Amino acid sequence: MHWDDYRAVLTVVRRRTLSAAAEDLGVNYTTVARRISRAESATGEVLFERLADGYRPTEAGKLVARHAAEMESAEHAMLRGLSGRDEKLEGELTLTAPQLLIAQVLAPVLDAFSKQHPDVTLRVRAANEILDLNKREADIAIRISRNPGDTLKGLRLAEQHAASFAAPELAERIANDPEGVVDWLVYERRQDLPEHVRASRPGSRIKMRFDDMVAMSAAAQAGLGVVRMPVFLGRSLQGLVQVPEFKTHPYADIWIVAHPDVWPSAKLEAFRAIVVPYFRENRPLFEA
């Protein structure tokens, strides 16, 4: 068996269908099917039951997938170790960070790094979900988190506060009508408004729930309600003003993190040399 065949078996076990596995592997589904068939021929075992809704691994398929996962982990460890020894300021560097943090804060950092190190190609993955640095989905991450990752090495770039923001007309109406109803825009996972919000304005109510800060910010700019967000974001978005009737509070910190194996590399060291002083100089942007 070739490693591509092991990887195909592992990915189909994880993703359940050929099309989903093909997307992860960057090939077409017929290639995945061919690799599965080749793995079955090599092992002399049926590795999957072919069902109408996908591929179900047999016990033999699960065994192959377990060993393939160990091989995958060893491959990642080897490549991380090699990356950490890299002393060249050239090649590709993959950074992941939340979309709005890139747009409102990190753009000058990315520009400065590219100008200082033109032989390094920055690949930026704007993602609110947490990418797996152990599996090398990115080399370095900027995260807004209270727990950036126990197995990672990192530096805290900034402490943060959050405040309430709204369109100017709505903020003025709230100031002039202490007894009025206040509509709020919140993340879908929030069950209720914070107690201090209800205590200061009993008329507060959740009007809409969102699964994305970009959409929620746009709704606030359109005057649909009040939104609580990091102060760096609320202050940088046009069409929003802070609502002083609602107090600020601590928010999750901003961290730069990477796998310990990769942390010593020249490219990561060069990036830290730019981003750390930048956040230090702009600390007031993140604090109330």
| Percent of the chain whose predicted confidence (pLDDT) is above 90 | 66
Residue 159 confidence (pLDDT) above 90? yes
User: Which of 23, 52, 84 marks a domain boundary?
Assistant: 84
Give me the mean pLDDT over the 155-170 stretch.
95
Asked if residue 260 and residue 147 are part of one domain, the reply reads yes
Asked if residue 148 and residue 13 are part of one domain, the reply reads no
Closest CA to 142 of 118, 92, 106: 106
Give me the mean pLDDT over the 205-214 stretch.
92
Residue 149 confidence (pLDDT) above 70? no
Segment 115-139, tens digit of pLDDT: 999 999 999 998 777 888 888 889 9
Residue 203 confidence (pLDDT) above 70? yes
Give me the mean pLDDT over the 154-167 stretch.
94
- Per-residue confidence (pLDDT) for residue 262, from 0 to 100: 87
**In sequence order, what are the beta bridge partners of 249?**
162
Q: How many domains does the chain have?
A: 3
Mean pLDDT, the chain, whole residue set: 90
Give me the mean pLDDT over the 62-82 stretch.
85
Give me the mean pLDDT over the 222-246 stretch.
94
- Per-residue confidence (pLDDT) for residue 238, from 0 to 100: 93
- Per-residue confidence (pLDDT) for residue 145, from 0 to 100: 87
Tell me the pairing of strands 204-210 and 153-166: unpaired
The pTM score is 0.71
- Per-residue confidence (pLDDT) for residue 150, from 0 to 100: 67
> Domain of 77: which CATH number?
1.10.10.10
- Per-residue confidence (pLDDT) for residue 199, from 0 to 100: 84
| Residue 116, in any domain of the structure | yes
Give me the mean pLDDT over the 60-77 stretch.
88
Residue 256 confidence (pLDDT) above 90? yes
> Domain of 186: which CATH number?
3.40.190.10
Domain that holds residue 270: 94-153+252-282
